[in-house]
Amino acid sequence: MSIRADLNITPPVTPVKQRPKPPNRLKHYLTAVLVLLLLWFSAHRTEASFGELFEGMPEMMKLLKEMFPPRWSYFDNIVDGMLDTIRMAWLGTTFGAILSIPVALLCASNISPSRWVYYPVRFLLNLVRTVPDLLMAALFVAIFGIGPFAGMLALTVFSFGLMSKLIYEVMETIDHGPLEAMQAVGANRIQNIVYAVVPQVQAHFMSYLLYTFEINVRAAAVLGLVGAGGIGLFYEATLGFLEYDKTCVIILFTLAIVLIIDYASTKLREKLL
């Protein structure tokens, strides 16, 4: 006699298998219609017409033809501008990173003194990040005059916003063991931060620093358009005088520098993490 009969358990009745109903598609169709409407409206609003693009194609081709061959002799004139761009990016990144440390400590929910501190600080940080860097540069040019100093300040504010956010997110994911151990032996807040938080986040900090530097080099290359120094000034000058073969040299040079910096910083970051 089987155990099942002993225990008086009836085998479960297998229900007649029915095909599961296909999920309701209505929501998907509605989303698709909504997206299409949005696209149609934006195309209408921005007066996008691909006919115009095709008509403009020969104009663009003419422009490209004027760009080649690049006038290499112009290269000597722009080296200084390019070095200014790198300087601006480097100093802006440094100052932004230094400023971001205290703010990140205030923003991280596990280190900050109370939620009355970290919510308002985060809100202010979000406001800082919404202002585009080019606008910041334009404002600083109005105050400090034309030159790389205004660009450096704009990049400082920009990197400060970016770095603070990245760092406080890392701080929130640290291991709490060391923090508790430090508290158990009676460390104060500063000691806590120096011995328990900093060692855990410093590699990430360096990696984000390099990442911000990469972004800043790209941003610095165009800040000159509003008068903030660097290679951007040369974009404006050569495009204004319709000397596209010179513009081409600038573009190629920028491309080379950015690629080199990207490569170097990627290699360094791989070593750090």
Partner 1 sequence: MIKTWDTVVRKPRKKPYRWLIYIALILIYVWAFSGVEFSGLKKTAGKVFSSIVSGIFSPDWGYVYLPDGEDLLRGLLDTLMISILGTFISAILCIPFAFWSARNMSRLRTVSGTGKIILSIVRTFPELVMALIFIKAVGPGSFAGVLALGVHSIGMLGKLYGDEIENIDRGPSEALTASGANKLQTLWFAVLPQVLPGFLSYTLYRFEINMRSASVLGAIGAGGIGVPLIFALSTRHWDRVGIILLGIVVMITITDLFSSAIRRKLV
- Write out the residues near partner 1 by the rule CB under 8 A: 38-39, 41-43, 45-49, 52-53, 56-57, 59-60, 63, 83-84, 86-88, 90-91, 94, 126-127, 130-135, 138-139, 142-145, 147-149, 152, 218, 221-222, 225-226, 235, 239, 247, 251, 254-255, 258-259, 262
Of the candidates 123, 92, 127, 94, which has an alpha carbon nearest to the alpha carbon of residue 106?
123
User: Is the CB of 208 or the CB of 235 nearer to partner 1?
Assistant: 235
Closer CB to partner 1, 6 or 59, in the complex: 59
Minimum distance from residue 179 beta carbon to partner 1 (Å) = 22
| Residue in this structure with the two tokens 């202010």, named with its chain if needed | 124
Of 208 and 244, nearer to partner 1 (C-beta) is 244
Instruction: Evaluate the CA torsion angle 202, 207, 208, 214 in order and state its sign.
Output: positive
From CA 118, how far away is CA 124, in angstroms rounded?
10
For residue 117, the minimal CB distance to partner 1 (Å) is 21
Tokens (6 digits) for 21: 């109903």
162/182 with CB nearer partner 1: 162
How distant, in Å, are the alpha carbons of 22, 30, 242 from that of 26? 11, 6, 54
- Output the smallest distance, CB 270 to partner 1, in A: 16
Find the shortest distance in angstroms from Cβ 225 to partner 1.
6
- CA angle in degrees (0–180, nearest 5) for 146-152-153: 90
Q: Which residue, 9 or 53, is less far from partner 1 as judged by CB?
A: 53
- The enclosing H or E element of 217 equals helix 198-223
Compute the least distance from the CB of residue 86 to partner 1, in Å. Answer: 8
Q: Report whether 265 contacts 211 (CB < 8 A).
A: yes
